Structure 1
Amino acid sequence: MNKDRGKTTNVWPFLVIFIGISFLGVTGWSIYRATLGVSPVTDPEYYSHGLKYNQSNIEIKAAEASGWALSTVLKGQELVVNLVTHSGQAVTGCKGDIIIYSNSNARRLELELVEQSPGRYSMLFPENLTGSITGDLSLHREGARITRRLIVNL
């Protein structure tokens, strides 16, 4: 009578072939899209925004080339910073600041360093700052910059 009644069709080979062809098709399409050019979302000047990495590196190298050496002394609430060249001459005319990251109120406080005498810069911490304080000290002049991370116990 009917000989095909007991036989079932095996779909697995067709399914595997279909998945393989689909994978190759999507791979080919993605390679084609990649060769067309960059995405319109890409900003060619991405690295010149934000942190100003190149400018900071130039400033750091300029400070290293000039041979600046920095030392700090804490006298009570006063921070004294001495800045000299590799030959021991005082570095004058710098603008300086310290950015404090206070643990107690989780805010940022910027304090200015004032030049007291040639190569000697100082500032007073506010009386309400106590305990361990973290901050970034920065002195710069004519494109040269020297920075240090400070941890001060008041």
Structure 2
Amino acid sequence: MTKRTAKTTCCYRVVLLTLFGVFIAGMAATFFASGHLGSRVTDPDYYQNGLNYDRTESGARNPGLDWTLTATLSGRDLLVRVCDEKGAPVAGGKLSLHPTREKRAASPLQLLESAPGVFRAPWPATAESELQGVLRFTRGEASASQRVVFFN
């Protein structure tokens, strides 16, 4: 019986030393990868990378970032003007209002283009005196959005 105990103890030592060696090798590989194989998130100027992401090659420049959406009420109509960075109207897109304060999931309100860059829709019958939501304008691959609150 003494010999069996010695062999069993030896096997456990080998298994424990092997597991410890694998752990140390894994930790060394992790330290090497984190020190030498970084990403733009770990760069010292990561904040500037986030601010200028749209101007990088991987950022896929979205011209809609420079567009402005001006929402107003004209009588009982919602009126939204979409302009580019120079103030010219942006025509030919789709504009919708996605309500956020509805008790049940309401479908988006589609605004129709009445003039270049001017979108109009009647006040929704389901809305009472206040309408909150997100305006989403898309034209091709470009998009712009803005939170709005209307009081009637």
How would you bin the TM-score normalised by the shorter chain? 0.5 to 0.7
Within the alignment, does 1:127 sit opposite 2:132 as a pair? Answer: no
Aligned equivalents of 2:124, 2:87: Cα separation in 1: 31
Change (3 A) 1:74 1:31: farther
Kindly name which structure, 1 or 2, has the bigger radius of gyration based on alpha carbons.
Answer: 1
Identity %: 22
Unmatched tracts of structure 1, length 5 or more: 1-25, 36-56
Shift of 1:69: 1.9
Unmatched tracts of structure 2, length 5 or more: 1-18, 30-58
Q: Note if contact 1:98-1:135 (Cα within 8 Å) is conserved in structure 2.
A: yes
Q: Note if contact 1:101-1:109 (Cα within 8 Å) is conserved in structure 2.
A: no
Shift of 1:115: 0.4
Q: Note if contact 2:91-2:117 (Cα within 8 Å) is conserved in structure 1.
A: yes
- Count the aligned residue pairs: 108
Shift of 1:122: 1.1
- The structure where helix makes up a greater share of residues is 2
Aligned equivalents of 1:153, 1:28: Cα separation in 2: 68
For 2:81, the equivalent position in structure 1 comes to: 82
Aligned equivalents of 2:119, 2:80: Cα separation in 1: 5
For 2:93, the equivalent position in structure 1 comes to: 94
Shift of 1:88: 2.1
Q: 2:64 corresponds to which letter in structure 1?
A: A
Change (3 A) 1:102 1:69: closer
| RMSD (CA atoms) | 3.0
TM-score, normalized by length of structure 2?
0.56
Q: Note if contact 2:131-2:149 (Cα within 8 Å) is conserved in structure 1.
A: yes
Q: 1:153 corresponds to which letter in structure 2?
A: F
For 1:62, the equivalent position in structure 2 comes to: 63
For 1:106, the equivalent position in structure 2 comes to: 104
Aligned pairs for 1:30-49 within 5 A: none
TM-score, normalized by length of structure 1?
0.55
